[in-house]
Amino acid sequence: MSINFWLDLLILTCIWAGVAGAWNLLAGFAGQFSLGHAAFFGIGAYTPPLLAQALGVATWFGIAAGAALAAALALVIAGVSLRTRWPFFTLITIAFAEVVRILAVYFKGITKGSEGLMLELEPGFANYFYLDKWPYLLLAAIYAAGVIWLCAVIRRSRLGFRLLSVREDEDAARSLGVPVFMARANATMISAALAAMGGSIFGLYTKFVDPDSTLSFLLSVQPALITIVGGLGHALGPLLGAALVIPIEHLLRSWFGGVLFGLHGLIFGLALIAVLLVLPDGLVGGLRRRRGRQVRHA
Amino acid sequence: MLGQVLVSGILVGGIYALVAVGLNIVFGVLRIINFAHGEYLMMSMYGAYWLWRMGIDPYLAAFLVVPAMALFGALSERYLVRYTLAAHAHVKIFVTLGLSIALQNLALLLFKADYLNVRTSYQTSTLDLAGFAFSVPRLVAFGALLVTAASLYAFLRYTDFGKAIRATAQDATTARLMGIDVERVYMVTFAIGAAVVGVTGCLLIPIYYVFPTVGIDFVVVAFVVVVLGGLGSIPGAIAGGLLIGIVEQFSGFFVETSLRQVVYFLIFIAVLAVRPAGLFGQRGAEEIGLK
């Protein structure tokens, strides 16, 4: 296998570790299980090339704009789901992500619809557009490290404690004066903005953005799967999960993808069930239990 | 013309209602969202399709598909869902999601991604009533909805086991104290949910193609219907299904077919924001036992 294969694997692992970290911030800390992160990821992927084509602005500006747009959508989602508890929050996020996906397919004039968008930007640092894979590994690694660091910081901050209290008992938290909506909305917005940045890097790296590869429902499942395998609510969980899930997924796809279409998805689904039933705390929880330490949630 | 749109909306809504009834009864009693519900529909449709290939009419195939699906439902509760009931919220959501992904890909592996459909003599025939055209298979499906829903309603209302199911839905702990075998109630409820979707699959195959991800199209609508109609309410699921069917057909007529889903997702979001218990659900039902 060539160096490019391994580079590809590392870049995707880093990107997904970051996106899963963003998901974990909301699900693991605040107990809000989103199945709509594909919307944020897709907004992040589409915004830089669309802005570059329309206004000719540099990619960095597009990434920031994508993150801001995703955060704005997250604020709407948080507002709408204010009165609902977990299963409904999940359903609302699915509905929002579907709306975004359908609109992206529908507005062909802007997004090229299901045909997809080829990224053709001026090479160089301003657009972070390179033919080589190395610069993307650097960017993806910085992104993953940044997300994990931010999650660890937030976990120990006032916001982190508020989120945990909301997760454990929302009514009790409210009665003690925790601003529940503010905490939830902040977590949703930060999570969305971070996921959008991951989407931007993914789009720049693959140089092709279409609804299937950036907005599909399975992309909303992906960060959840990675986090659950790694350890829900642990800052390092998403990294461990991505380091395990992405290579396995890649290998399964390259072994069976061409011949036995569907086999890797079947294994994927069964593995998810097995991990949930055997190791509900994920790898991090399992490792801690092994060492005889008490498993604390987060 | 508008009358015809209304008629087809009601008939489409009948199918959505049937899918939603099965989802809703499981949701109401076990308090879990069965993400694999759409795949149960997909399995039923493949079952009816293969029986048709062997020379059995899809409507007669129901007599084989429905018991098979009931058995599969009971088994998936007994050997999978049961272990999640006392677990964390994320386990509840993602175990059935894992089952859904596994079943979809199993179908892809076995049957490829081809769109398959059956050919029957009645498939394209229509009935003219009061100046409106009624598609025969859709009319049959609608009739079956009424029969299924009425018998399920009567079962829950008047039989002892139906009462046990309703008691468990209200409060599982108290039901257990009253001597109800709650585990058995859960298993039978899951079997009923899968059986109803088995009926739906046989009725749907003369109308719609079957392919590995066909369940997603219907189950997403069923979520909307369940929320709209209210948790655990059979009349609510029917009213919600018909409403979504009508809205879908009218928005396809007035706006654009490819945007019809957006319309009902927006309704869904609006209902959850304003009245989370659904239009017909009991207030506060969305919070019972969900923690």
For B175, the 3-state DSSP assignment is helix
* For residues B31-45, average pLDDT: 91
In chain A, what residues touch B269 (CB-CB under 8 Å)? 80, 92, 95-96
The lowest-confidence range among A123-127, A150-154, B31-35, B223-227 is A123-127
pLDDT of amino acid A66: 93
> Between chains, do A27 and B90 touch, taking CB under 8 Å as contact?
yes
Q: What is the mean pLDDT of chain B?
A: 86
Interface test with A, best of B226, B272, B287, B288 (most A CBs within 10 A): B272
Residue B181, CB-side half-sphere exposure with 13 Å CA sphere: 7
Secondary-structure percent of chain A, ordered helix, strand, coil, rounded to 5 = 75, 0, 20
Residue window 113-152, chain B: list those with CB within 8 Å of chain A: 113
- CB nearest A33 (choices: B93, B258, B269): B93
Question: Which has more pLDDT, B113 or B277?
Answer: B113
Question: How many angstroms separate the CA atoms of B147 and A297, rounded?
Answer: 49
Q: Contact B101/A86, CB-based, under 8 Å?
A: no
Helix or strand or coil: residue B34?
coil
Q: Of A91, A103, A218, which has the smallest distance from its Cβ to B223's Cβ?
A: A91
Instruction: Over range A266-292, report the average pLDDT.
Output: 80
Q: Please give the Cα distance from A6 to A4 (Å, whole number).
A: 5
Residue B290 with chain A: CB contacts under 8 Å? 85-87
Tell me how far apart the alpha carbons of residues B95 and B2 are, in angstroms, rounded to a whole number.
44
- pLDDT > 90 fraction of chain B, expressed in percent and rounded: 32
When pLDDT is averaged across residues B226-248 and rounded to a whole number, the result is 85
A225 vs B contacts (CB less than 8 Å): 94
CATH at residue B215: 1.10.3470
Tell me if chain A has a CB within 8 Å of the CB of B178: no
Nearest-neighbour CA in chain B from A109: distance (Å): 15
Tell me what the mean pLDDT of segment B151-166 comes to.
90
Higher-scoring residue by pLDDT: A153, A283: A153
Any long-range contacts for B161-170 (C-beta under 8 Å, 24+ apart)? B161/B185, B161/B188, B165/B29, B165/B189, B168/B29, B169/B28, B169/B29, B169/B232
Rounded-to-integer distance, Cα B30 and Cα A87, Å:
13
Average pLDDT score over residue span A221-225:
89
In the predicted model, what is the mean pLDDT of residues A31-47? Answer: 92
Question: What share of chain A has pLDDT > 70, as a percent?
Answer: 95
Residue A130 has, within 13 A of its CA and on its CB side, a CA count of: 13
Q: Three-class SS of residue A208?
A: strand
pLDDT digit string, tens, across residues B119-156: 887 777 777 777 777 788 888 888 988 899 899 989 98
Please indicate whether, in this complex, the C-beta atoms of B272 and A221 are within 8 angstroms of each other.
no
Q: Domain containing B6: what range?
A: 2-287
One-letter identity of residue B265: F
- Which residues make beta-bridge pairs with A118? A208
Chain A residue with CA closest to B257: the answer is: A106
**A114 half-sphere exposure, CB direction, 13 A CA radius:** 6
Are the beta carbons of B89 and A31 separated by less than 8 Å? yes
Question: Residues A11-22: pLDDT tens digits?
Answer: 999 999 999 999
| CB interface of B with A, residues 30-59, below 8 Å | 33
How far apart are the C-alpha atoms of B52 and B224, rounded to whole Å? 32
- Nearest-by-Cβ selection for A266 from B102, B112, B276: B102
Count: domains in chain B: 1
State the count of interchain CB pairs (< 8 A) between A and B: 139
A123 pLDDT more than 70: yes
Could B266 and A263 be called an inter-chain contact, meaning their C-beta atoms sit closer than 8 Å?
A: no
Supply φ then ψ for residue A124, to 5 degrees: 130, 180
* Predicted local distance difference test score (pLDDT) of residue A236: 87
For residue A262, with 0-12 CB atoms within 10 Å meaning exposed, 13-18 middle and 19 or more buried, which class applies?
buried
Mutate to test the interface with B, among A29, A83, A103, A168 (most CBs of B within 10 A): A83
Share of chain A above pLDDT 90, in %: 31
Residue B288 has pLDDT above 50, yes or no: no
Length of chain B: 291
Q: Decide if pLDDT at B286 tops 80.
A: no
More confidently predicted of B221 and B70: B70
Q: For residue B86, list its beta bridge partners.
A: none
Is residue B87 less than 8 Å (CB to CB) from chain A?
Answer: yes
Average pLDDT over residues A142-171: 89
Query: Is the pLDDT reported for residue B268 higher than 50?
Result: yes
Please tell me which residue of chain B has the smallest CA distance to A274. Answer: B95
Contact A187, A25 (CB under 8 A): yes
Residue B113 pLDDT > 60? yes
Higher pLDDT among residues A192 and B228, named by residue: A192
User: What integer pLDDT is reported at residue A182 of this predicted model?
Assistant: 87
**B81 vs chain A: nearest CA distance in angstroms?**
10
What is the pLDDT at residue A86? 67
Question: How much is the pLDDT for A189?
Answer: 94
Average pLDDT over residues A30-38: 90
Write out residues 255-274 of B within 8 Å (CB-CB) of A.
Answer: 256, 258-259, 261-262, 265-266, 268-269, 272-273
B288 touches chain A (CB under 8 A): no
Partners of A272 on chain B (C-beta within 8 Å) are: 94-95, 97-98, 101
For residue A221, the chain B residues in CB contact (below 8 A) are 97, 101
Q: Does residue B107 contact residue B42 with C-beta atoms inside 8 Å?
A: yes
Please spell the DSSP secondary structure of B112-160, one letter per residue.
-S--B----TTTT-EEEETTEEEEHHHHHHHHHHHHHHHHHHHHHHHSH
pLDDT at A87: 75
Q: Is A111 exposed, middle or buried (0-12, 13-18, 19+ CB in 10 A)?
A: buried
Residues paired with A129 in a beta bridge: A124
Other C-beta atoms lying within 10 Å of the C-beta of residue B113 = 11
Picking from A181, A272, A275, A296 by the largest number of B CB atoms within 10 A of its own CB, the best residue to mutate is A272
pLDDT confidence of residue B30: 86
Which of B 5-34 lie inside 8 A of A, CB atoms?
A: 33
Could you tell me what percent of chain B has a pLDDT over 70? 95
Task: Pick the range with the lowest mean pLDDT from B100-109, B124-133, B199-208, B262-271.
Answer: B124-133
Q: What is the mean pLDDT of chain A?
A: 86
A191: closest CA of chain B, how far (Å): 18
Q: How far apart are CA B144 and CA B18, in angstroms?
A: 9
Q: Provide the pLDDT for residue A10.
A: 92
pLDDT at site A298:
45
Lowest mean pLDDT among A261-270, B8-17, B55-64: A261-270
pLDDT at res. B287: 43
User: Is the four-CA dihedral A78, A82, A86, A91 of positive or negative sign?
Assistant: negative
Which of A83, A90, A98 lies closest to B220 in CB terms?
A98
Q: Which residue from B minimizes the CA distance to A266? A: B102
Would you call A31 exposed, middle or buried from its count of C-beta atoms within 10 A (0-12, 13-18, 19+)?
A: buried
Reduced to 3 states (helix: H, G, I; strand: E, B; else coil), residue B255 is coil
The amino acid occupying position B173 is T
- Quickly list H helices, chain B: 2-30, 37-53, 58-79, 89-111, 136-158, 160-170, 172-177, 182-204, 214-229, 234-254, 260-274
**DSSP E strands, chain A:** 117-118, 208-209
Mean pLDDT is highest, among A271-275, B48-52, B216-220, for: B48-52
Strands (DSSP E) along A134-239, which ranges? 208-209
B122-154: string of b/e by CB count within 10 Å (b at 16+)?
eeeeeeeeeeeebbbbbbebbebbeebbeebee
The alpha-carbon gap from B142 to the nearest alpha carbon of chain A, in Å, equals 27
Q: How far is CA A248 from CA A18, A222, A242, A254, in A?
A: 18, 13, 10, 10
pLDDT-derived band at B89, boundaries 50, 70, 90 = confident
Give me B118's structure tokens.
Answer: 């059956």
